[in-house]
Each structure stands twice: as structure tokens, then as C-alpha cells.
Structure 1
Amino acid sequence: MSDKIKTGNKGEELAANFLVAKGYEIVAKNYRYKHAEIDLIVSKDKWLIFVEVKTRHSAAFGEPESFVTNKKAAKVIEGAEQFVFEQQWDGPIRFDIVSIKLGKNLEIEHFEDAFY
């Protein structure tokens, strides 16, 4: 397994634990639809939240959340539309980003309503 995949998997695990500690419930992990992958799907307070997790060892090349491009956001939205259809979800949804820096001091930031 490549270091990039290991870093991503570690970040997703940390993000899931972080969100659960904040009262979110994990609905799905690594949901795939066509070319879209949604790292985490969680729920809280009658909301369904689609979460993109970005993990880096440092911010030397930019903050992790800055790597969620418009193209990536569009893929997440496409996957979310399919998930909502499959589950027949009729409640509110939103798109969040969890940014993780694994450096000396672990930093986790949660950006709610990060994109539409």
C-alpha cells in the first residue's frame, strides 16, 4: 500500500473518530458511485452530511482543505445525489470538509457547509 493511501486511510479514521466524538453518527464510509467517492457520510440532528477528508503531513504546500477542487466537489455532489436517491432521503443535506494535519501536533478542522 502506498504512503499516500496509508495517509488517506489514517486521515479518514481520525476524521470518523473526531466526528463521532462531536455527536455525529457514521452512515457510510468510502461510498462510490461511478467516478465519485465520498469519504464519509454522517448524520446529526436530522441532517445527512457528505464529508470530504483531506489529510497532509503539514501545510508546507497549502492547507489540506484547499485541495478540494471544484471538480472534486462536483464529484462528491454527484455521488451524494445518487446516495440520496438510493436511500430515498428527503431531509436536509450538506457538504463538509475535515482537514487533518498529521505533523508534530495533530490538527483537525471541521468546515461545515464547505461547498454546494
Structure 2
Amino acid sequence: MKTRNKDTSRQKRETKGRRAELLASLFLMIKGYQILAHRVRMHSGEIDIIAKKGALIAFIEVKARKSIERGQHAVTDRSWRRIARTAEIWMSHKPNFSKCDWRYDLLVIAPFALPKHFQDYWRL
């Protein structure tokens, strides 16, 4: 029985995360970003959204939380480092973006609030 509850809970979190990422992508497109990739997974980690605006590539972590404030504190420094390693690998495979600047953003989705996009939220 416990395994079934774990699976159901995991599925609910997965569904919630996918919905948040879809909403985040739509929000970013309204703001003029071109979505380059979703859920990029490599041995080094995962990036929720990779987006481009002008000559800037944004590696965006999306968090769905009960409040914007909770979302701001939901990503650990260790997670950001994994995201950074993954971004470096991804960029090394994209020579057409070699002249672009890049940064790490956080986008928080909370009930009854507009999505909040924190640009350049984390730095190595």
C-alpha cells in the first residue's frame, strides 16, 4: 500500500510541475522570450526551461509553491550548481549561441498571483 501512495504522490508532483512549466513557458513567451528547450536532462542535472531573448540565453528553474516567498527559497545552492554544470554542457553543444550572454533565472508560480520572474537570480 505504501508504494502505491508514493507513486500517486510522485505523479501528482510531476503533474503539478509540468503544469507550472507550461504556465511559465507561456508567461515567458508573452514577455518576448523564445523557448529553446524544456526539461533538459543530462548526467549533470536538469534544466526546466531554456529560453532566448535577443542575445541572451536564460536557464530557468521553475517552482510551484503556495507563495512567491516559498518559491524563492525552494532551490538550494547545490541545485543551482547542478543547473550551472548542465547549462555549461548544453552551451558547449550549441556553437550558434557562443556569442550570447547567459544567466540563471527563477520563475515562481503561486496560486492567485501572477508568475514572478526573478532574472539573474543566481550567480556562480
Cα RMSD for the two superposed structures:
1.5
Unaligned runs of 5+ residues in structure 2 are: 1-7
Unaligned runs of 5+ residues in structure 1 are: none
Question: Residue type matched to 2:103 in 1?
Answer: R
Q: Specify the structure having the higher radius of gyration (Cα).
A: 2
Question: Residue type matched to 2:15 in 1?
Answer: K
1:93 and 2:108 equivalent? Answer: no
Aligned residue number for residue 80 of structure 1 = 87
Q: Where does 1:33-48 land on structure 2 (aligned, <5 Å)?
A: 33-48=42-57
Deviation at 1:107, TM superposition (A): 3.1
Moved over 6 A (4+): none
Q: 2:48–2:60: 8 Å Cα contact kept in structure 1?
A: yes
Structure with the largest fraction of helix: 2
Q: Where does 1:8-87 land on structure 2 (aligned, <5 Å)?
A: 8-56=17-65, 58-59=66-67, 63-87=70-94
Report the count of equivalent residues. 112
Deviation at 1:45, TM superposition (A): 1.4
Aligned mates of 1:36, 1:108 — CA distance in 2: 24
Deviation at 1:37, TM superposition (A): 0.5
Task: Give the TM-score of the pair, scaled to structure 2.
Answer: 0.84
Q: Percent identity?
A: 29
